[in-house]
Structure 1
């Protein structure tokens, strides 16, 4: 039994991280946050084959597993890089596993090459919604409003979950409307369906698997963002001088950095195992995904706050840019269910509360 990443997995993560250092430096992230697009970043990642990580080789992909996707998500979070990775490279390819041979042949090669992108609208049935909210499916058509749609901006297709949890493919999606968000490195949308044609992709089991993958990817993204905030705090503590000494020599600052490291390191194994369980231990996958999402939501928030505290007043400035990672962690925490709701799902999975 392996308890660490393989050489190929380590090489993949290092390669993605190195590429993002060139494709998505802070200046590029800031430009996107101010209204730009991430097309050039996505083209660069597509040249590496990243959109095809989970797509079978017969459709032009790499045929890898969710562990590799989680490592890529961790690198994207570490760079606060804008990209349609979650929707186009992870959730849509997984949803299309329940599609027809024709749907797969039409869309998987285009997603693998980066030629096409996909949005995903699953927030209402996954995170919970009030009665009447969400999308209704009837006779091959969708009606209703989907909120917090992931990667809908310029998407060629949408994967949509209806109120009952059924999955549908929309090949001519309505125009999305941008929703306000604390995280300027990613954009969420509202999409209104008015008798929109759609094709079925699978039932409730498909949505649950999609939810598990999404929770694991959000946890991995938080892991990467939190690691960057920790690294920046440690580097700053070694450089900033006060009272004739670097602040890292003060016991209180040492303790803050040590606490962040102690909280984050065990979380790494939790995220990796949740991704491993998705492909290799399906009976554990839902529970582990819930644990990873809920725990990283709490750890990420602690590190975001503590790292900003170590930086002092400069940590709140736009010049430093620390807020991009701070807010990214904040969105990861709430997207597709906050830690309280996710823990409730974990308790329900273990029979601790009634369904």
Structure 2
């Protein structure tokens, strides 16, 4: 059996890679990271021209009706380029939530706008995984109260999809009365994250499915974060190998030293098996739904650990230069750190995987 990307997916990967190489060089990433709103309209427009915004929107609503594996292919390239664009929430999670739990009116209103790039929808479901003190959202009578931390793709949103404490999803307009949106600063300045405070804010509930749609969002989000980390890790390995082939010490290229060779080889040896794990998790989301949650947990937790090692080791290969802003290695380092913790750190996700397999009781 030959499990790999189809010809169309390879073409998609190459097209997105060329697009990002042209529109999102490191100089542009650095410029965006220094702004209050780090998201790049320039890069976003170029990706919209490729149809990325409508990838997961059904064809009947103006999208391309593609799969999560296609989205994972794009996410890997975004991580490789540390592209400062909204994707995880606005172009993956929001379309999945609306197509699987939205009513016909909600689908008809929002999905075509998402596909065309006319509307952007953020997503806040972190409290369904781990709840911090003072956080959590309650719903009653079509109104929300409480706080949702770490709303993803926060800047420039027209609406938010928010999970309440029972796991039900709600659609809230960005200008809804009773909603206060506060931008948050995280280690990753290529992403936009915010806090949503609700005080009787009006909301449209999505389907009351017992949390099924929210669980699907968790699975999809974890796979996309793993794919993003995969791309960022690949970039860090390549940068370490390139640097080792140029930097001289004691009259020799450092890449000729056995210790440096071992560091680069171990990064590659740990990184490469992650590719098939992430691809299968993305494939299972649409094709093998009874395995989707478990393999999404495996992909998220394993890539998080592997790419923390890759990020640290690549920085070490660069020596003192690796810690400077001059090389910009820290953008990939911090992106991997963000991917590691969002939607559950490795410890929490492994505990969830154990519960799914009946080894422990669910929290």
Return the TM-score normalized by structure 1: 0.98
- Structure 1: gaps spanning 5 or more residues: none
Q: Give the superposition deviation at 1:200.
A: 1.4
d(CA) in 1 for partners of 2:96, 2:39: 25
Q: Give the superposition deviation at 1:187.
A: 2.1
Select which of 205, 212, 218 maps to 2:225: 218
d(CA) in 2 for partners of 1:183, 1:172: 23
Larger mean Cα displacement after TM superposition, 242-251 or 66-75: 242-251
Q: Give the superposition deviation at 1:133.
A: 2.5
Select which of 200, 204, 211 maps to 2:205: 200
d(CA) in 1 for partners of 2:170, 2:226: 25
**Offset from partner CA, 1:122-142 (integer Å, 9 cap, x none):** 01112x115763111111111
Q: Give the superposition deviation at 1:2.
A: 4.0
Q: Which residue of 1 aligns with 2:4?
A: 4
The number of residue pairs the alignment matches comes to: 354
Counterpart secondary structure, 2:3: coil
Q: Give the superposition deviation at 1:37.
A: 3.7
Q: Which residue of 2 aligns with 1:268?
A: 275
Q: Which residue of 2 aligns with 1:120?
A: 123
d(CA) in 2 for partners of 1:268, 1:250: 28
Does 2:193 align with 1:188? yes
d(CA) in 2 for partners of 1:251, 1:143: 59
Does 2:179 align with 1:177? no
Select which of 131, 137, 148 maps to 1:135: 137
Counterpart secondary structure, 2:245: helix
d(CA) in 2 for partners of 1:172, 1:230: 40
Return the TM-score normalized by structure 2: 0.95
| CA-based RMSD | 1.1
Select which of 278, 285, 297 maps to 2:292: 285
**Offset from partner CA, 1:115-161 (integer Å, 9 cap, x none):** 111100101112x1157631111111111111111012110110100
d(CA) in 1 for partners of 2:332, 2:245: 21
Q: Which residue of 1 aligns with 2:111?
A: 108
Counterpart secondary structure, 1:176: strand
Q: Give the superposition deviation at 1:180.
A: 2.2
d(CA) in 1 for partners of 2:345, 2:143: 30
- Structure 2: gaps spanning 5 or more residues: none
List 4+ stretches of structure 1 deviating above 2 A.
130-133, 171-176
Q: Give the superposition deviation at 1:339.
A: 0.2
C-alpha contact (below 8 Å) 1:153/1:176 kept by paired residues: no
Select which of 284, 300, 316 maps to 2:323: 316
Relative to 1, partners in 2 of residues 1:34 and 1:12: Cα closer, same or farther, differing over 3 Å? Answer: same
Counterpart secondary structure, 1:185: coil
d(CA) in 2 for partners of 1:114, 1:86: 14
d(CA) in 1 for partners of 2:136, 2:92: 22
Q: Give the superposition deviation at 1:334.
A: 0.7
Q: Which residue of 2 aligns with 1:149?
A: 151
Does 2:345 align with 1:333? no
Q: Which residue of 1 aligns with 2:162?
A: 160
d(CA) in 1 for partners of 2:2, 2:144: 45
Does 2:67 align with 1:62? no
Counterpart secondary structure, 2:201: strand
Q: Give the superposition deviation at 1:24.
A: 1.0
